[in-house]
Amino acid sequence: MMTLPRITLLFSGLPAFADSFLPGISTVALVHAENRLMMFDTGPYAYRPILQGRLRKLNIDVGEIDTVILSHVHWDSAANADLFPNATILLHERELAYAETTSEHDSETPAYIGRALRRLRLEPITSEPQLCPGVRIVELPGHTPGSIGLKVGDALLAGDAVGCACDAATGDIRYMAPATALARNSLKKALGLAAVIYPGHDRPFHVGPPVTYLDDYAVRIRFFTDPTGPDEEIRIGSFAPKSFASWPGD
């Protein structure tokens, strides 16, 4: 019997804004399929030890990942692609070209990302190949020239082509720039393809209508505002009590 492909969410994206830094809280997922273990996106470098810890908790060795699919090459999606020594890195040919020609002052793509990626085993793609039964690439250009998603069963890992549930609910690009005709077409294409969408910067949702989230969300942030006093802590959403004792390895 064939094992149906399934998604494990490693990092839930969050459409957060801050006044003086870029949150970059993007979605990272594992895709399990028959004899395959794939990563969809790798997050910003700021995820690195937490990503390693979450894989360890799932008893997954980084060497077991055979494929990394990069939805696009922005700083908050592609910074940890080098963690997987046996993986082939799939990205769109146009995206690789974009990574290698990006200007020094691109607000989302560092100039060195192309050079960092070139050290890896890259497989640039140009269409919508099936990777294994039930799993295929979907072209979703607009957010970047070579943005792609991954269809897994009736779900779609959309990258930033669907930034958040808000964009899906309004059918318009409100959150995730640039709001071009190309990006709007890709949003529309994504919404027509799947029953469940994993957006680049939000929790997964049922396309509906109405758009409804699959799950709750929790954030904990701790600030050391007073060197001799207790930490200030912000908790948002539902959460289990958690210690920072082994931070950041969990």
Partner 1 sequence: MKIDLLIPGLPAKADHFLFGICSLVLIRTAGRTILFDTGPFRIRPTLIKALRQRGLAPADIDTIFLTHLHWDHVENLDIFPDAEVLTPRSEFEYAAAPRPNDWGTPPYVREILRNMRVTLLPELEQEIFPGIRTLLLPGHSIGLQGLVIDTGEERAVLASDALWSARDATRAVPDVAFFDPARAQASLERALAAGEVFYPGHDRPFRFKDGKVQYLTQYRYELSFPFQPLGQSFGIGISTAQTMSGEKRP
Binding site for partner 1 (CB under 8 A): 11, 14-25, 43-50, 52, 75-76, 79, 82, 104-105, 107, 110-112, 115-116, 119, 164-166, 168-170, 175, 205, 211, 213, 217-228, 232, 234, 236-237, 242, 244, 247-248
| Closer residue to partner 1 (CB): 4 or 16 | 16
CB 147 to partner 1: min, Å: 19
| Closer residue to partner 1 (CB): 43 or 141 | 43
Are residues 188 and 146 in contact, defined by beta-carbon separation less than 8 angstroms? no
Q: Give 95-148 as a DSSP string.
A: HHHHHHH--TT-SS--TTHHHHHHTS-EEEE-S--EEETTEEEEE-TTSSTT-E
33 Cβ neighbours under 8 A, 6+ residues apart: 3, 5, 6, 131, 132, 133, 134, 135, 152
CB 205 to partner 1: min, Å: 7
| Closer residue to partner 1 (CB): 110 or 133 | 110
CB 34 to partner 1: min, Å: 30
| Closer residue to partner 1 (CB): 82 or 139 | 82
Q: What does the alpha-carbon distance between residue 207 and residue 178 come to, in Å, rounded to a whole number?
A: 22
CB 26 to partner 1: min, Å: 10
The full 3-state SS of 215-244, as one line of letters, equals CCCEEEEEECCCCCCCCEEEEEECCCCCCC
| Closer residue to partner 1 (CB): 133 or 217 | 217
